[in-house]
Chain A
Amino acid sequence: MLQPTATDLLVRMLGACELRARVVSANIANSNTPGYVRRVVRFEELLRRELLQGGDPARVLPQTSADLSAPARPDGNNVNLELELNAMRENRLLYESYSSILRSHFELLETAIASG
């Protein structure tokens, strides 16, 4: 059945993907900036943890942080173009799957209204 919380969650997951795409683009744009540290967006794992603990998923917000774990080049930059492009594709697949699920939710709603 169509649950308002599920729709709300999906919209927020789409929003997190959009934010992540921007952060990955900024990493790519700065791939030749000395001293630049790549940034990452965490949302799905935070959401999963909150849901497992039985908490309120509405409280979870996407978090952007610097990723210091990646090895840096001599100029202090730790952006790896191949990894960023991969992150970008991964993120787009996620975005497409979330939007497909959201669309099927809307279709369910339409069916319910039409047969009601």
Chain B
Amino acid sequence: MQGFDGFFTGMRISASGLTAERERMDVIAENLANARTTRTPEGGPYRRKVVIFEPLLQELEGEQRSVGVQSLPVQQDRATDFERVLDPGHPDAGPDGMVLYPNVNTVMEMADLITSMRAYEANLTAQENFVRMAERALELLR
């Protein structure tokens, strides 16, 4: 054992998971809040935002090891089409009377939110685990 470094590294791994999941929850909240936004500064309806995760790698003893997770810059979902609703009276309706609504699927966002919350809790449990292990190691010194 090399002191307490191992425990601290472990706690940082869990912390990276907590940060990433929180960022994802923020973006999900933004998507849900804008699920009906038809006007944006860049024109057109709100476009769904997506968070992408990638493993945080570190070269250790000649091999790539995952030392956590990080989120990449938020990207927009350009693959899913906007929802088209016939509503000629709407101020944002096009010449054909169709209103474009964001490509946000609230049910899908809610499902993602639940997954994210569960992962957040799991990361928290993992972090507490390192504290318990470190306490146990301390007992050996008493």
- A-side residues, CB < 8 A to B, are 11, 14-15, 17-19, 21-22, 24-26, 28-34, 36, 39, 64, 81, 84-85, 88-89, 92, 95-96, 99, 102-103, 106
Contacts of A22 in B (CB 8 A): 6, 9-10, 13
Q: Mark B44-86, 1 if CB is under 8 A from A, else 0.
A: 0000000011110000000001111100000000000000000
Closest CB-CB distance, B108 to chain A, in whole Å?
A: 14
Rounded to whole angstroms, the CA-CA distance of A32 and B68 in the bound complex is 12
Q: How large is the interface on B (under 10, 10 to 19, 20 to 34, 35 or more residues)?
A: 35 or more
Q: 27 pairs across A/B with beta carbons < 8 Å?
A: A11-B1, A14-B1, A14-B137, A15-B1, A17-B133, A18-B6, A21-B126, A21-B133, A22-B13, A26-B13, A26-B55, A26-B67, A28-B122, A28-B126, A29-B17, A30-B69, A31-B119, A32-B24, A32-B53, A32-B116, A33-B55, A34-B52, A81-B118, A81-B119, A85-B122, A99-B137, A99-B139
When distances are taken between beta carbons in the complex, the residues of chain B under 8 Å from A84 are: 122
Residues of A within 8 A of B136 (CB): 95-96, 99
Give the tally of cross-chain contacts (CB within 8 A).
Answer: 106
Question: Which A residues are in CB contact (< 8 Å) with B17?
Answer: 25, 28-31
**Chain B interface, >50% SS class:** helix
Secondary structure type dominating chain A contacts? helix
**Across-interface contacts of A103 in B (CB, < 8 A):** 139-140
- Top 10 A-B residue pairs of the complex, sorted by shortest distance between their CB atoms: A29-B17, A33-B53, A26-B66, A25-B13, A29-B69, A18-B6, A22-B10, A25-B126, A31-B119, A30-B69
Residues of B within 8 A of A33 (CB): 53-55, 69
